[in-house]
Amino acid sequence: MGEHARPAGREVGSSPEAGGRAAEELDLRGEVCPYTFLKARLALESLPADRTLRVVVDNEASARDVPRSLMGAGHAVLEVVAATDGTWAILTRRRSE
């Protein structure tokens, strides 16, 4: 299973969000496009409107393509942050209904 000790794309949990509120988190380390976008979109669309989702990816193509694809689907991308461990955190908000 690799160094992360959990199946990629299987974890959705809470994490701190800017402003002190909790965001849902989806760990997609080990996954590649287009699966990263598809899993992020499904997780985001299962949340209530205006809820945030923090998606963690570990490849540059996903860090570039997931935000663009989520915006194309009508969701807001609040930030994309590169970490020193080779991951990117994509903070997105589900579109209002």
Q: What is the DSSP string of 35-71?
A: HHHHHHHHHHHTSPTT-EEEEEE-SHHHHHHHHHHHH
Residue 62 maps to a domain: yes
Whole-number pLDDT of residue 40: 97
Judge whether 88 lies within some domain.
no
Q: Given a cut of 70, is residue 19 above it in pLDDT?
A: no
Q: Within 13 Å, how many C-alpha atoms sit on residue 4's CB side? A: 16
Whether residue 50 lies inside any domain: the answer is yes
| CATH at 72 | 3.30.110.40
Top-confidence residue, 19 or 97:
97
Residue 33 is among the residues annotated as catalytic for this protein: yes
Nearest to 40 by CA among 85, 8, 4, 2: 8
Q: How much is the pLDDT for 74? A: 95
CB contact burial 52-71 (16+ within 10 A = b; e otherwise): bbbbbbbbeebbebbbebbe
- Residue 20 confidence (pLDDT) above 80: no
Residue among 12, 33, 73, 80 flagged as catalytic: 33
- Determine, yes or no, domain membership for 93: no
| Domain range for 71 | 11-83
Residue 94 included in any domain? no
Q: According to the model, what pLDDT value does residue 23 have?
A: 77
The number of folded domains in the chain is 1
Asked whether residue 75 is domain-assigned, the answer is yes
pLDDT for the residue numbered 69: 96
**Is residue 32 a part of any domain in this protein?**
yes
pLDDT in tens, 22-77: 579 999 999 998 999 999 999 999 999 999 999 999 999 999 999 999 999 999 99
Instruction: Work out whether the CA dihedral 8, 14, 16, 19 comes out positive or negative.
Output: positive
